[in-house]
Amino acid sequence: MNQLNIGIAGLGTVGSGVVNLILTHNQLHLDRSGKKLHIAAVSALEMPEELSGVLEQTKWFDDPMDLANSADIDVVIELIGGEEGIARKLVESSLIAGKSVVTANKALIAHHGSELLQLAEIHNVSLMFEASVAGGIPILRSLREGLVANSFDRVYGILNGTCNYILSEMADTGRDFSSILSEAQSLGFAEANPSTDVDGFDAAHKLSILSSLAFGTQLNFSGVFIEGIRNIRSLDIEFAHELGYCIKLLGITKRSESEIEQRVHPCMIHRDTPIAKVNGVLNAVVAEGDHVGQVVFEGAGAGQKPTASAVVGDIVDIARGRTSPPFSIPSSLFKNLNTQSMSERFGAYYIRLIVHDQSGVLAEAADVFAEEKVSIETVLQRGRDPKSTVPLILTTHDTDESSMMKVFSRLEQLKAVVEKPALIRIENFS
């Protein structure tokens, strides 16, 4: 029959968005795919009020696992979330039952993508997850298809809209992290439990997927170095600005001969870098291919409609019968590369010390740098208050992280340094 029968598990924000998009553009998707996208069944904790009318005729399952077993369903759309539990069970069972799966679940793919891919291969079905990375931006299929002729050198970007929103607001208003976070929570841009976002885990899930796809390596979430944005202060943003930089939480992955680099942390990047101007909840990804050079993608990284756009894009691919290998290569060809240790990073650093404003502090600090052979590029000292504390900002020339860390722990010990120093890596993407 000229119809693709779809089962949807989860009718939260994204699930409702997918239902609405499929119903709104049914003719358009039929024209483009040659098949009618038909929502054959749904399963959720409860039916959202606003969908009860349009889904009145649709089969309802209390248990999402029934979607995997229903003979009337060709494709299962997993929008429950979570790396374990019912989401994982549903995806596994669906693949085993010979159904293609579309999911937006980055945690699931980051943790279990390799095994799920093997299941999909064995049962000769599709496993697609464009929505799991950078929402509406078609970055996964660009790496896998449009840019497939290239060997990739590096992929990096702004992968978490909540963090980008918070950092942009801090820059615009001069207000501090916690006050912007509370505001973001009340506006719905941040979760009640914000840790997944602000501590970098969400970006790290996405980065490990990008990394595996770009370099043909095993998914290795535990190999991602992760540092969030809680320690960024608005004074860091001001100093960054003065130095010609802005601060972004980036995910960066890079491949050398024998190792792979995977890291998520706040970065100072030049104001002139294309992604430096990507503000608010937007995401941006830069792919560097050996032939195409740098390609920059910007767009909505989350939200109901952009995420639905990505999920339904995958469904149309399945309807067209033209899906490509999810990670570009079959699982049998995945390479196992070691993760490069963070201590091997080579680059520049920004250090913020809060010190007693007394003579000799800078000399003491400079001695530490000199003894560890780390060369200082800039020193900024603002405000004088002998009775109080002031920030002392230093940036370094390129050095290796292990030397920098020695400097850092020695600075922490200095008597005049009154609180734990902060360190932000300066990334040069020229």
Residues annotated as part of the active site: 206
Query: DSSP assignment, residue 144?
Result: I
Closest distance of CB 321 from a second copy, Å = 8
One of 12, 48, 313, 347 touching a second copy (CB under 8 A)? 313
- Is residue 137 at the binding interface for a second copy, with CB under 8 A as the rule? yes
The Cβ of residue 70 has, within 10 Å, a number of other Cβ atoms equal to 19
The Cα-based distances of 144 to 73, 193, 276, 429 in angstroms read 27, 34, 26, 23
Residue 100 near residue 129 (C-beta atoms within 8 A): no
- Judged by beta carbon, residue 85 or residue 274, the one nearer a second copy is 274
- Is residue 324 at the binding interface for a second copy, with CB under 8 A as the rule? yes
Q: Which of 41, 22, 209 is nearest to 114 (CA)?
A: 209
Return the residues of window 342-401 that contact a second copy according to CB under 8 A: none
Closest distance of CB 370 from a second copy, Å = 39
Closest distance of CB 305 from a second copy, Å = 4
Closest distance of CB 141 from a second copy, Å = 5
Q: Which residue reads 């000292």 in tokens?
A: 381
- Judged by beta carbon, residue 54 or residue 149, the one nearer a second copy is 149
Report how far residue 407's alpha carbon sits from residue 332's, in angstroms, rounded to the nearest whole number: 44
Chain centroid to CA 124: 29
Report how far residue 127's alpha carbon sits from residue 88's, in angstroms, rounded to the nearest whole number: 13
- Is residue 68 at the binding interface for a second copy, with CB under 8 A as the rule? no
Stretch of residues binding a second copy (CB under 8 A), selected from 4-12, 114-122, 256-264, 289-297: 289-297
Report how far residue 310's alpha carbon sits from residue 142's, in angstroms, rounded to the nearest whole number: 13
Planar angle of CA 287, 293, 295, nearest 5 degrees: 40
Closest distance of CB 132 from a second copy, Å = 14
One of 3, 256, 294, 343 touching a second copy (CB under 8 A)? 294
One of 78, 317, 401, 427 touching a second copy (CB under 8 A)? 317
- Is residue 93 at the binding interface for a second copy, with CB under 8 A as the rule? no
Planar angle of CA 283, 248, 131, nearest 5 degrees: 25
- Is residue 146 at the binding interface for a second copy, with CB under 8 A as the rule? yes
Closest distance of CB 306 from a second copy, Å = 5
Return the residues of window 28-57 that contact a second copy according to CB under 8 A: 28-29, 31-34
How close are the terminal C-alpha atoms of the chain, in Å?
A: 53
One of 312, 351, 355, 426 touching a second copy (CB under 8 A)? 312
Residue 281 near residue 165 (C-beta atoms within 8 A): yes
- Judged by beta carbon, residue 333 or residue 366, the one nearer a second copy is 333
One of 5, 309, 396, 399 touching a second copy (CB under 8 A)? 309
Residue 24 near residue 57 (C-beta atoms within 8 A): no
- Is residue 292 at the binding interface for a second copy, with CB under 8 A as the rule? yes
- Is residue 323 at the binding interface for a second copy, with CB under 8 A as the rule? yes
Closest distance of CB 402 from a second copy, Å = 33
> What residues contact residue 392 under an 8 Å CB cut-off, 6+ apart?
352, 353, 354, 355, 361, 362, 365, 379, 380, 381
Residue 162 near residue 190 (C-beta atoms within 8 A): yes
- Is residue 141 at the binding interface for a second copy, with CB under 8 A as the rule? yes
One of 7, 194, 306, 421 touching a second copy (CB under 8 A)? 306
Report how far residue 368's alpha carbon sits from residue 407's, in angstroms, rounded to the nearest whole number: 6
Residue type, 366: A
Residue 283 near residue 168 (C-beta atoms within 8 A): no
Number of residues that bind a second copy (CB under 8 A): 58
Q: Which residues bind a second copy (CB under 8 A)?
A: 17, 21, 25, 28-29, 31-34, 130, 136-138, 141-142, 145-151, 216, 274, 277-278, 289, 291-300, 303, 305-306, 308-313, 315-317, 320, 322-325, 328-330, 333
